[in-house]
Amino acid sequence: MIEFLEVDNLDTAIEKLYTECVKTVFATLQEEVLLLNSLDRILSEDLISEVEVPNFNRSTVDGYAVVASDTNAASDTVPVILNVVGSVEMGTEYKGRVNSSECVYVPTGGMIPDGAGAVVMIEDTEQISENKIVVYKSIGEGKNVVVSGDDVKKEDLILHKGKKITPYDIGLLSSVGIEKFKVYNKLNVTIISTGDELISDKENLSKGKVLDINSNLLESMAIENGLNVTGKYLLQDNEKDLENAIKNSIGSSDIILISGGSSKGKKDLTSFVIDKISSSGVLTHGIAIQPGKPTITSFDEKSKTMIIGLPGHPIASAILFRLVVLKVIDKIRKVSHRERTCTGILTENVPASQGRTTIQLVNIDDNFNIIPLFGKSGLIHRMSKSDGYILIDRNKEGYNKGEKVKVYYL
């Protein structure tokens, strides 16, 4: 019971770790990248356009550039006759001018000549002689025209610091000719999986032994989230090995993840070693979250290394990595990226313990029914089959069947 009081709420744990990390340059070093190498990287500077897009008035249809007011009286029964005085070539500047009673053919994307303020679609016209068309429709000023600067203006702040670069951002940056810029460095991660029961080779399976899940799980999650995995260890539970592994990694890593220690004895070992090595000591010794309680956080200021003890339970380990470690990095970098979430209706009651946040894996059907995946603690096959998870607030006793809940996609 005393131990329970010592654990932190999830928000407190995040805040404590953030507060330590943010004092240093942790997660804020930058490097320059070329546009096509920037996918999924996080911008570390605001990007401003030096050009206008488009840099000329542009037609959005195939048709005739006209003085809009010339068409005021046009209709199916009383068309207006205009003189065709020219034709715009794609990709070239049209030097002539459109005066009243005149028009110029413009292809989609072509430049609107001076004097013209709208484009009549070719479908609303008819050619009646070599140089004359009739217009069957009245159109307003600006119709079918993208005006110079409509997409991007000069000096527009087009992407903010903290933006995670998508293919569409790469498209936008291409449109203004920005070819290189600064992004935050990829962080280096060392993953240490500990446990006397853990082995890596199927041939050595015997009663009492299990194949290690967490180092591969965390490695692939790290890669998926733009981190470099620079070291991996599979250790027995002993102080000396753990201490050596951390000491070996601390210089080359920004983050050290130590997974394992779901049992009391082991947790104390991880916590003891972290406390000994890290300048901050242990910041959080247990989080009020289920599963995921045996999570330990720490930040070594001297080496600027986040040292985190994650639960041995693979589901807890994966989600706490996301909820704490990745969250703090994003908070430091002020990352703006819409989290993939949805809402739906629960098909069953989901119990929860008041006083701690509950993580519940779920599936989502095509009608956004949210189906909880119950089962014994720690079964990895459930996570592989889940679409996402819900978080139940520590002040709630659970959700009832039929309640609307928010799901975080895995």
Q: Which is nearer to its own copies, 365 or 397 (CB)?
A: 365
Distance CA 149, CA 158 (A): 13
**Shortest Cβ 25–its own copies spacing (Å):** 28
- Listed in order, strand segments (DSSP E) in 18-122 are 30-34, 47-48, 58-59, 63-66, 80-87, 102-106, 118-121
Q: Which of 210, 160, 174 is nearest to 47 (CA)?
A: 160
Q: Which of 380, 236, 244, 401 is nearest to 316 (CA)?
A: 380
**Shortest Cβ 82–its own copies spacing (Å):** 20
Q: Which is nearer to its own copies, 302 or 366 (CB)?
A: 366
Distance CA 292, CA 267 (A): 12
Distance CA 281, CA 41 (A): 31
CA distances (Å), origin 401, targets 137, 138, 370: 57, 57, 10
Q: Could you tell me the two tokens for 397?
A: 């006793």
**Shortest Cβ 63–its own copies spacing (Å):** 10
The distance from CA 197 to its chain's CA centroid, rounded to whole angstroms, is 36
Q: Which is nearer to its own copies, 40 or 126 (CB)?
A: 40
**Shortest Cβ 102–its own copies spacing (Å):** 20
**Shortest Cβ 297–its own copies spacing (Å):** 21
Q: Could you tell me the two tokens for 75?
A: 């209709």
Q: Which is nearer to its own copies, 101 or 377 (CB)?
A: 377
Q: Which is nearer to its own copies, 113 or 277 (CB)?
A: 113
Q: Which is nearer to its own copies, 115 or 281 (CB)?
A: 115
Beta strands 58-59; 145-146: pairing state: antiparallel
Amino acid making up residue 246:
I
**Shortest Cβ 373–its own copies spacing (Å):** 12
